[in-house]
Structure 1
């Protein structure tokens, strides 16, 4: 007993002829290639969509990181804010080539000049903060710091070519 394929059985029974068999084979090959093409197109569109969503997520994460950084800076300023004393001394400083003025007392003026205090801008208002906190803020968002003076002793130590030569105390001019 030999096993015949369905095509052979249909041909023997006279239900189909050779032409119809060849046509059926061709159409089944076409449907397979069509299925492969459709699957490839679906995979391409799916990967493109995933890439697009990944880029959108990346943008959202970057925006969220900027918001978190701004919140950290705001918190640092508010936690370290030094209250402006009721003084009569106007302290002038420049921001973007524009002269700004805050009113402080003489002690705060000296601290600003010596680099003990710094000035930060928060929502358009200038706040006094300690120089240490200003350095932390400057690392995160340098555009928030309006003024931070470097102590004169530090400048002298870095740039002084005569630092090794001591000036005698009894020198008369």
Structure 2
């Protein structure tokens, strides 16, 4: 098969010097492309690297979310286990028991306890832990461990406020067993 250059030479449209000049220019151009091609970054490679970086970042974010959800689930399981192992008995309604009111979140809740349990709650030896829509009594040490994991679940009895120096009602103390 005869090349296009040879056909043009036979036809007399180009001479041998022009063919050599074109070949030299092509060779120079290829050398230049090889030399500068190593220094310049290929756009396709750059785009592929950027896409790979974005995919890796998205995968890291997804893994972090998955790990955070797994950690939260593990913490909730630890809290449930602590409460199940250490919960204290509370009294049932209607058996001459006392209603103990406390605030949980933005609501005022009520549980029925015996007089001894009420004393322990007021003294701070027992604490109330919210488990969904139920409330359990646990020792203060266990409540501290639960509070390390999730502070919002633990309800503690508030200590009596210290009276102000010029309080006109300082002589009138409110009893602990007073119910509104």
What range describes the TM-score normalised by the shorter chain of this pair? 0.5 to 0.7
Instruction: Tell me the equivalent position of 2:61.
Output: 55
Instruction: Tell me the equivalent position of 2:25.
Output: 22
Change (3 A) 1:83 1:24: farther
**3-state SS of the aligned residue for 1:82?**
coil
**3-state SS of the aligned residue for 1:120?**
strand
Equivalences for 1:1-173 in 2 at 5 Å? Answer: 17-23=20-26, 25-26=28-29, 29=33, 32=37, 36-86=42-92, 87=95, 88-145=97-154, 147-149=155-157
Greater Cα offset, 106-115 or 44-53: 44-53
Unpaired segments ≥5 residues, structure 2: 1-15, 163-180
The answer (yes or no) to whether the contact 1:114–1:150 under 8 Å persists in 2 is no
Change (3 A) 1:65 1:149: same
The RMSD of aligned alpha carbons is 2.9
**3-state SS of the aligned residue for 1:64?**
helix
Deviation of the 1:150 alpha carbon: 6.2
Q: Normalized against structure 1, the TM-score is what?
A: 0.68
| Structure-2 separation of matches of 1:137 and 1:51 | 34
Unpaired segments ≥5 residues, structure 1: 1-13, 157-173
Residue-by-residue CA offset, 1:88-145 (whole Å, 9 max, x unaligned): 2111112234221111111111111111111111021011111110011111101111
